[in-house]
Amino acid sequence: MLDALSDKFNDVFRKLSGRGRITEDNVAEALREVKTALLDADVHHNVVKHFIDHVMDKARGTDVLKSLKPSEQLIKIVYDELVTLMGPVDSHIMYVQPGPTILMMCGLQGSGKTTTCGKLAAYLKKRGKNVMLSACDLQRPAAVKQLQTLAEQVEAEVTTGGGSVHFYGEEEKCAEYGKAIGVAVQVARRSFEAAKKTGCDVLILDTAGRLHVNDELMGELRQVNQSLNPHQIYLVIDAMTGQDAVNSAKAFNEQLELDGVILSKTDSDTRGGAALSVKHVTGKPIKFVGVGEKIDALEEFHAERMASRILGMGDVVSLVEKAQAEISQEEAEKLQEKMAAGKMTMDDFLKQLRTIRRMGSMKSLLGMLPGIGSQLKNIDIDDGQLNRTEAIIQSMTPKERKNVDLLNNSRRKRISQGSGTQLNDVSQLVKGFELVSNMTKQMSSMSGLQKLRAMKGGPGSMGAPGSFSGGGGGMTSAQRMKKKKQDRKKKSR
């Protein structure tokens, strides 16, 4: 998401940083390019005008032109304005006591609303909440079945409230649309009673999507809202629809008084207009973003982190949070001790590999590192390589995983055949594993100064074979050979 916009911002700031000094005309020219980039990203025209005017005013008012690094000053101003445009955001959900806390989900048809209900349930389950999903979407065929499938994945309960519920457009056709509305309200009420009886902390109402916004179709949502008075109402909008999503959000807010927006499908090739526009146009913040197809691919929205990504600064905080969510402190310490003692096994390596895969694609993880994302835009990173690596390790016997020294040529051939890979793939994995094991063991025995030298590739670095041998003086084997030849020449003279 926002790759094209990020590239444009980076191009503009690169041009500015290449100048010895910056004039007001230079800044105005740069902001014209930024304006074009924002409009191309389908950002609402009122938002673009507001953004450009504020940046220009602050650029004049903070002596950017007189500063030692004016381009960096301007980047800071743009960053602050982006944060203001999208925030502030508090993604925490306020829970009521006694429960259940009622969360009502609404949105246009095809926005990913039902899938988002399942993701939100998974998010809440991770935080120790007992969740029930209410299938109030009785118009779209298979909507109830889809919600049931999602609920099974997160071990949440899904209900239609019990009783004689008829599914409009599915099990039984209703003669009148008004009857369908009445059924949806009935389902919502019964679900609420069921949630109270079972002691659920949170009840999520999955309402029917609409093809477009009009008063007749909004009637069902208004009745459900009046009947249950939900504590939070979230609108799910598709990030790929740009300004259309913002316009629909404005219309929904006029009818229901939204509490926030959940932006779905942000992992797709989207221009980013919705993310930058929705808060300014509707006054409602983006609470969560869907970042993938998996059930746990829902993240809290942080304006600061999104602004950093747009400006190519990465998002190290989110990367650390992903790692902390998958790796406990105790596990990290145990692995560190093993690596320091040179006792890391292929089983340990496989465990870490699976942890990385749960965190997301390699491209998305590397893209969170400052300055890396823009370098990866045209590079195809094959996550299938992780599958092949896992297959190779699983084709090893327990003894071989524990001690890679057992892997002679015969064993490697067997492993390559068992994993459906080439013999060279197995050899490369073993070689890489041994290299990492040796490096970490050597690093653990070094002093702080030696580690610094090693990382910089200086004397005593681990980048060359034999660097740690006692008589080498920090020289590589090639350097020692050259010195021996020079010594022999001196003696012959």
According to DSSP, the residues that pair with 157 across neighbouring strands are 132
Q: Would you state the pLDDT for residue 29?
A: 84
Determine the pLDDT at residue 66. Answer: 59
**CATH 3.30.70.20 given to domain 101-313:** no
Domain 320-444: assigned CATH number:
1.10.260.30
Contact of 235 with 107, CB cutoff 8 Å:
yes
CA distance 400 to 421: 17
Q: What is the pLDDT of residue 108?
A: 87
Given the DSSP bridges, would you call strands 131-136 and 202-207 parallel, antiparallel or unpaired? parallel
Reduce the DSSP state of residue 127 to 3 states and report it: coil
pTM: predicted TM-score of the whole model, two decimal places: 0.64
What is the pLDDT at residue 487? 62
Neighbouring CB atoms inside 10 A of 37's CB total: 20
Which residues is 263 bridged to in the sheet? 237, 289
Q: Are strands 101-107 and 286-290 parallel, antiparallel or unpaired?
A: unpaired
What does each of the 493 residues of the chain score in pLDDT, given as a tens digit?
566 777 778 787 777 776 656 677 878 888 888 888 888 888 888 889 999 998 888 877 665 555 556 667 778 888 888 888 888 778 888 899 888 999 999 988 888 899 999 999 999 998 899 999 998 887 777 888 898 889 888 888 888 755 433 333 333 433 344 445 567 888 889 899 989 998 899 999 998 887 666 676 678 888 889 889 999 999 998 887 777 777 888 888 888 889 999 989 887 755 667 788 888 888 888 999 998 888 888 988 888 888 887 776 655 555 555 555 666 667 666 766 776 676 778 888 888 777 777 766 665 655 555 555 555 455 555 666 778 888 999 999 999 988 888 999 999 999 999 999 899 989 988 888 888 777 766 655 555 444 444 444 443 333 333 333 333 444 444 555 555 566 655 555 5
153 Rama class: left (phi>0) / alpha (psi -120 to 50) / beta: alpha
C-alpha 135/C-alpha 156 separation (Å) is 13
Strands (E), 76-130: 101-107
The CATH superfamily label for domain 3-86 reads SRP54, nucleotide-binding domain (1.20.120.140)
Please choose, from the candidates 208, 206, 222, the residue with its C-alpha nearest in 3D space to the C-alpha of residue 170.
208
What does the buried/exposed string (b/e) look like for 231-242 if buried means 16 or more CB atoms within 10 Å of the residue's CB? bbbbbbbbbbbb
Give yes or no for a contact between 286 and 262, defined as CB atoms under 8 angstroms apart: yes
Any idea where the domains of the chain sit in the sequence?
Answer: 3-86, 101-313, 320-444, 448-492
Provide the pLDDT for residue 432. Answer: 82
